[in-house]
Structure 1
Amino acid sequence: MASEEYPLMVGQALQSTSTQYTILEFIGEGCYGKVAKCLAHNSSKPVAVKILKQDYLQDVEGEVSVLKTIGSMNEDDINVVKFYEHFQYLGYTCLVFELLDRDLFQLVGSMNFHNIRPIAKQLLVALQGLQSVRVMHGDLKPENVMLTNMEERPWRVKLIDFGMASSFSSVIPGMTLQPIGYRAPEISLGLPFSGSIDMWGLGCTLAFLYLQRNLFSFQSEYLMMKCIVEMLGMPSRRQLHFGMYSKKFFCKERDELGKRWRLLTPDEYSSRNKVKVDEWPISHPHFSSLDDLLYISEVGDDEEMEDRKVFIHFLKQMLRLNGDKRISPADALQHPFITGSYEPGARQQRISNRGI
């Protein structure tokens, strides 16, 4: 039966083969459907139940397959949300997860480097775990990173929402993954890609926590690409030559040195793609490089400046235009920003150790 005939309400019980889940409240909604906080009768504990719309049922098998693959590891060890079961009820497809606290998007304005560092480390462990089972998340953004319990375990986070996740073997060039503003260049250009797209998504997410706004525009694909080119430079000739969608954003023209690629103007992009380009948002500054982020706000002292320099170097490793040259999760875990090895106390400790 079609689920629309049976609208779900607070107090209603969802029946699986193992237990009932009584809906306590609806805590989220998206294009996929709704998320309900439910009481699991078999454990008397609250859980989160993702209730999918009919239109998204064709994708649920892939998501469940990925979740089961991840479940072969300890989700706590790799900082990924625990998945309990999935079932059908009155035409609805329901996925049951552990109940978490709130997402990082809701914490804008309350972050500093002492918070960003442990979050970055935990997400790198998550991506390293995913890569070990050859899975990419494909949708890393602040909304998909949740605190487990801010009061009891401050800044303990887990990666959620595997609706866009894929195994390495199932992806093909031209697939659309990642939201605008967090989309790696190889996805936008239609190039072969790998799990390194998640490192790009992580770089954008950490930049969001630092800036308290998106690093690259999320208004449109064109403005996002314009931001990337202004800040990081043009993709390589090889990338542009082999990209399935390169001519969506770029064109070739001849100058005294021969043919070269350039970014389309807004009018050219609109004409070529038959879409209107949004105006550049007034609130979004033009950065000429990631180094501009050093002075995005007043610097408190020398220690904070050192924090910023090391953090920006870290971002540069994650936001390389060529996915093959992007830093891996394993190497990123050894970066000074994560280890804190650049901090004055750590430097003094190393000097003392050498003197022993």
Structure 2
Amino acid sequence: MTLLLAPHRLPRLASRLRNPSTNNAFPFTPGISRPMFWAGKRASTSMADTVGQQVLDPSVLVEEETIRGYKAEDYYPVRIGEVFQDRYRVIGKLGYGTASTVWLCQDLSGQDEYIALKVYINRSKVHRELPIYKHINSLNSEHEGRAYIRKLIDSFELSGPHGKHTCLVHEALGMNMEELRDLVPRGAMDGYLVRQFLRPVLRGIQFLREDAHIVHTGQPRVRTLGCAFLTVERADIQPKNILLGVLDTSAFARYEEDEREYPMPRKELPSRTVYTSKPMLFTRGAPSLADLSEARFECPDNVDLVMPDLYRAPEVVLGMPWSYPIDVWAFAMTLWDLFEPKRLFYPQGEDGRYSESIHLAQMISIMGPPPLDFLQRSGKSKLFWDDEGVWKGDVPIPETKLEIAEARLQGEEKELFLIFIRKMLQWKPEDRKDLEDVFMDEWLLADLIEAGVVTCDRQ
């Protein structure tokens, strides 16, 4: 089977792929109503009503304070209303992590109107993100995927009470795909939405690989939830790092108005104010792949532990050298998480912690046994398989398979989807299809085939 672009539709297709932020490219989809997206505002209002004067008890741990190893002096004490570089006025807090906090700001110069400011902790000795972005900005590239990588507008160094902080100024964008998925009934997007959002992301990954020679992946970022469990954040290809674009600044103006009328809870301390985050609302622009804080330049010697636990590719689990194919694996995991109601892999033990043995056993159930020559690439494989490639791990192989795990589709569409996902879910990195083959897959282009933009010639 081959897929062909219909010649008379090429201009239209090029326009849609380069600029899917047009109203026609991202309409509201049946089953996702506008009031549902406004629920974010009502939630903020309700939360504000429950906290009285918005001041939290000093003993309550708030956001970055819950991170294991948190030290207040590592973080710059940003205050809402503060102005940086005589230009960027802080409006509200968008998020936090082990290495930074992120803030929506107004650009007082009027050049960009609104921006997202990322303020790194002062202990970040190695800044991977800024060199990556400088490299991207230096490229003279007309690759269409460049438009789907979040832009770096500016950077500067900030002197804080306990050291210097690197600050990155990004274009302001909408909510991330994980937040959008959580608004959708049953927590799974329909195929049309998934296709519209992920095709541009694939083009962005292609740009990183072909023109920038960058692997978009990430290191562990551990934070605590409550006092018992751990969750891991990373900066790589996953729903959290795909942000909706904007057609205009109305969403940011609405965000600013909401923060004035219903300020998010905060904790006042002698040396700082710790704010809670207010997420962005739904916007209708083309998606962008964000957060390159742990991206890597392509190198044959990359062997460090990367990717989120649930998204980790086999070669990463087994300590083998890794390269671009891990982004193909991560894309498959992202697709599955957005489209399917249940995760494909859930490799946690009874203690709630990640287990390599459970993860590998689940991979066997989904993909079948790994090739022996693949296992021979790593001495770590001997912990889980014998010399003949027979599983000897300390957990049994689940009695399931990919056809059972896929719970939404039937008939021909299910068959096409499984063919698509198997192009990416392969033990050997070299067996995974390249990005262009993934992009031109029949399932991913189904809406364009139906519209006559792409023709399908099955052989």
Q: Does 1:104 align with 2:177?
A: yes
**Distance in 2, Cα, partners of 1:309 & 1:5:** 50
Say which is worse superposed, 235-244 or 175-184, in terms of deviation.
235-244
Q: What's the CA shift for 1:239? A: 2.0
The Cα offsets for residues 300-332 of structure 1, whole Å up to 9 and x where unpaired, read as: xxxx64333222211110111111111111111
| Distance change >3 Å, CA 99–CA 242, structure 1 → 2 | same
| Distance change >3 Å, CA 293–CA 84, structure 1 → 2 | same
Say which is worse superposed, 103-112 or 201-210, in terms of deviation.
103-112
Equivalent in the alignment of 2:82: 12
Q: What's the CA shift for 1:338? A: 2.6
**Distance in 1, Cα, partners of 2:377 & 2:93:** 46
Identity of aligned residues (%): 23
Residue identity matched to 1:251: W
Equivalent in the alignment of 1:86: 155
The Cα offsets for residues 317-350 of structure 1, whole Å up to 9 and x where unpaired, read as: 0111111111111111221123328966659987
- The structure whose RCO (Cα within 8 Å, separation 6+) is larger is 2
Q: What's the CA shift for 1:191? A: 1.4
Q: What's the CA shift for 1:178? A: 0.6
Alignment of 1:148-297 (within 5 A): 148-149=245-246, 154=284, 156-169=286-299, 172-217=301-346, 219=348, 220-222=354-356, 223-248=358-383, 250-252=384-386, 259-266=388-395, 288-294=400-406, 296-297=407-408
Tell me, which stretches of 5 or more residues in structure 2 are unaligned? 1-71, 182-186, 218-235, 252-281, 349-353
**Distance in 1, Cα, partners of 2:443 & 2:394:** 37
Equivalent in the alignment of 1:64: 130
| Distance change >3 Å, CA 163–CA 75, structure 1 → 2 | farther
Equivalent in the alignment of 2:120: 52
Equivalent in the alignment of 1:330: 436
Q: Is the 8 A contact 2:175 2:283 kept in 1?
A: no
Moved over 6 A (4+): 150-153, 347-351
Q: Secondary structure at the match of 1:93?
A: strand
Q: How many residue pairs were aligned?
A: 315
Q: What's the CA shift for 1:50? A: 1.1
Q: What's the CA shift for 1:110? A: 5.6
Q: What's the CA shift for 1:31? A: 1.4
What TM-score does the superposition give when structure 1 sets the normalisation length?
A: 0.79
Q: Does 1:37 align with 2:104?
A: yes
Equivalent in the alignment of 1:315: 421
| Distance change >3 Å, CA 52–CA 345, structure 1 → 2 | closer
**Distance in 2, Cα, partners of 1:51 & 1:5:** 8
**Distance in 2, Cα, partners of 1:188 & 1:201:** 13
**Distance in 2, Cα, partners of 1:241 & 1:335:** 32
Q: Does 1:26 align with 2:93?
A: yes
Equivalent in the alignment of 2:268: none
RMSD: 3.0
**Distance in 2, Cα, partners of 1:176 & 1:11:** 39
Higher helix share: 1
Q: Is the 8 A contact 1:33 1:53 kept in 2?
A: yes
What TM-score does the superposition give when structure 2 sets the normalisation length?
A: 0.62
| Distance change >3 Å, CA 225–CA 67, structure 1 → 2 | same
Q: Secondary structure at the match of 2:92?
A: strand
Q: Does 1:130 align with 2:208?
A: yes
Q: Is the 8 A contact 1:140 1:182 kept in 2?
A: no
Residue identity matched to 2:194: I
**Distance in 1, Cα, partners of 2:389 & 2:451:** 50
**Distance in 2, Cα, partners of 1:230 & 1:162:** 32
Residue identity matched to 2:216: H
Tell me, which stretches of 5 or more residues in structure 1 are unaligned? 254-258, 268-279, 281-285, 352-356
Q: Secondary structure at the match of 1:114?
A: helix
Equivalent in the alignment of 1:283: none
**Distance in 2, Cα, partners of 1:34 & 1:75:** 31
Q: Is the 8 A contact 1:293 1:312 kept in 2?
A: no
**Distance in 2, Cα, partners of 1:142 & 1:244:** 33
Q: Secondary structure at the match of 1:59?
A: coil
The Cα offsets for residues 160-196 of structure 1, whole Å up to 9 and x where unpaired, read as: 0111101113x52431111111111111111122211
Q: What's the CA shift for 1:98? A: 0.5
The Cα offsets for residues 77-111 of structure 1, whole Å up to 9 and x where unpaired, read as: 43110111221111221111111101111122261
| Distance change >3 Å, CA 221–CA 66, structure 1 → 2 | farther
**Distance in 1, Cα, partners of 2:372 & 2:429:** 15
Q: Is the 8 A contact 1:103 1:144 kept in 2?
A: yes
**Distance in 2, Cα, partners of 1:126 & 1:168:** 16
